[in-house]
Amino acid sequence: MRYLILSTTFYLIGLTGIAGQTTWKPLFTENISYSKSGNCTIDQHLEDILIGTEGDGAWISLDEPYHDFMIEGEFLLNGQNTAQLIFRLNDMKSKIPEINGYAVQFDSDPDQQNCLGSIINVSRAVWVDSLNFEHWNSFKVRALGDHLQVFVADQLATETHSRRSIQGGIKIVMNGSGPIFRNLKISRLAENQHLDGPATEDYLQSYPEIEYKKIFDGKTLSGWHSTGSSEWKIVDGSLYGYSGTEGGFLISDESYHNFHLKFKFKIIEEDNSGIFIRRPETAEETSLLNSVECNIYDHNGYTHAYPTGALVRHARSWYHMIDYDDWNTGEIFALNDHIIMYINGRKSSEAHLADYDHPGQICLQAGLQLALPEQGPSEVYFKDIWIKCIDQ
């Protein structure tokens, strides 16, 4: 555990230093060397610096490479205006900059995969319902090592860990007409931090001297107990769960803190399931207050707040990640406050959740179709449930 302790300590020291000595400078001013297209506008209005567009395809770029930084400012998306703020861009001439860097989406339409605040095709944002697009709204982008965060209206919209691009230029691409950004500023957070040690997923999977343990034997419910009206039985070596009229859980007898859980599941569309982790053994019920729900439930297309692969109330996943006619794979990584979920080999969501940094049980859910008016029963199948727990 030495690497983890040192890494966490270094991270906290870094944040403490940042809070005490943040130095801001305007992102685009006449005193800074930048490039822009003819459609891009920069206007001074009283004390405000407005950046906008007179047509589609407008852009402005800062070639100076940034590694660790914060960008703050405000955005206005009335009408059909859209934009992307691209950072750590290592090819400033790329026609697909989100591949050569990270692109934060600014768009007022919630009905899409890469909605407002998403890091395009990397990390999907939780939709912020309180926004008024007729007014300016605040945002912040923070990049510290491989930890990327986007805040919208002071709310954490999304976060992820990615090492695809560690440093590069900054570029803004805009479509529409009129001002889109106001008073953009940037602050360097650190000088070229080195990313020593493995990522959380690699660390948990390769942890030496601890093997994966099968926690469902395919024959019995040994090691598990059920709650609520849910019914659980073995069908052809798989675990079948039926919610009954109220729903319920199959709960592991053992508790786990830091682990990699991998499993397969099958479910039909609109049926509701999930895996709750870190439920305290002393808890009287399983809920979002005492556990983290790793969701298995698709409803209402792109506008579903937390579809399959999401960490409910914390991190949103991509829509329609599963095959309803076949088995799907799921993975959950839990290391201290860091929780990550994968569906069918793709990272679906992640978050740092300090309130859930404790041991707890694993709970398989057979839930009601809560998003449908009739709230009917659900069925779900699980198999090949393995865990590597490094607590010992």
How much is the pLDDT for 11? 39
Are the C-beta atoms of 16 and 144 separated by less than 8 Å? no
How much is the pLDDT for 296? 98
How much is the pLDDT for 300? 86
Topology (CATH) of 201-389: Jelly Rolls (2.60.120)
How much is the pLDDT for 32? 75
How much is the pLDDT for 45? 86
In this prediction the pTM is 0.92
Residue 387 backbone dihedrals phi, psi, to 5 degrees: -140, 140
Task: Indicate the helix (H) or strand (E) that contains 201.
Answer: helix 200-206
- CATH fold match for the domains 20-190 and 201-389: yes
Kindly give, in sequence order, each residue whose CB lies less than 8 Å from that of residue 90, ignoring residues fewer than 6 positions away. 100, 101, 165, 167, 168, 169
Residues 310, 316, 321, 325, Cα dihedral to 10°: 50
How much is the pLDDT for 29? 74
Report the first-to-last Cα separation within the chain, whole angstroms. 11
Q: What does each C-alpha distance from 143 to 38, 121, 255 come to in angstroms?
A: 30, 17, 34
Mean pLDDT by 10 residues, the chain (392 residues): 33 40 82 87 91 95 92 95 97 88 97 97 95 96 96 98 94 97 93 74 93 97 96 97 96 98 96 98 96 95 95 97 97 98 98 98 96 92 98 80
Are the C-beta atoms of 376 and 271 separated by less than 8 Å? no
Count Cα neighbours of 184 within 13 Å in the Cβ-side half-sphere: 24
Which pair of structure tokens corresponds to residue 16?
């403490």
Topology (CATH) of 20-190: Jelly Rolls (2.60.120)
Are the C-beta atoms of 74 and 85 separated by less than 8 Å? no
Q: How far, in Å, CA of 386 to CA of 364, rounded?
A: 14
Per-domain residue ranges for the chain? 20-190, 201-389
Are the C-beta atoms of 89 and 101 separated by less than 8 Å? yes
Q: How far, in Å, CA of 232 to CA of 164, rounded?
A: 42
How much is the pLDDT for 372? 86
